Amino acid sequence: MTQTLLRIDASARHENSTTRALADRVAAKLQPSKTLTRDLSKETIPQLDAGWLHAAFTADESRTEEQRARLALSEELIDEVRAADTLLISTPIYNFAAPASLKAWMDMVARAGITFRYTETGPEGLLTGKRAILVIASGGTEVDSAIDFATPWLRHMLGFIGITDVQVVRSDLQSLDADASQARAEQDLARVA
Given a cut of 70, whether residue 13 has pLDDT beyond it is: yes
For the whole model, what pTM was predicted? 0.96
pLDDT tens for each residue of 67-106: 999 999 999 999 999 999 999 999 999 999 999 999 999 9
For residue 151, the number of C-alpha atoms closer than 13 Å in the C-beta half-sphere is 21
Q: How far is residue 189 from each of residues 29, 56, 76, 92, 94, measured CA to CA in Å?
A: 9, 38, 30, 17, 22
Look up the CATH architecture of domain 4-190: 3-Layer(aba) Sandwich (3.40)
Confidence (pLDDT) at 2: 75
Confidence (pLDDT) at 193: 85
Asked if residue 38 lies in contact with residue 6, where contact means CB atoms within 8 angstroms, the answer is yes
DSSP conformational letter for 46: P
Phi, psi of 153 (to 5 degrees): -65, -45
Q: What is the arithmetic mean of pLDDT over 166-185? A: 96
Confidence (pLDDT) at 168: 98
pLDDT tens for each residue of 97-155: 999 999 999 999 999 999 999 999 999 999 999 999 999 999 999 999 999 999 999 99
Phi, psi of 110 (to 5 degrees): -85, 95
Q: Give the domain ranges of the chain.
A: 4-190
Confidence (pLDDT) at 91: 98
Q: What percent of the chain lies above the pLDDT cut of 70?
A: 99
Given a cut of 70, whether residue 170 has pLDDT beyond it is: yes
Q: Is residue 156 very low, low, confident or very high in pLDDT (cuts 50, 70, 90)?
A: very high
Q: What mean pLDDT is reported for the chain?
A: 97
- Asked whether residue 90 is marked as a ligand-binding residue, the answer is no
State how far Cα 94 lies from the chain centre.
15
Given a cut of 70, whether residue 59 has pLDDT beyond it is: yes
Given a cut of 90, whether residue 1 has pLDDT beyond it is: no
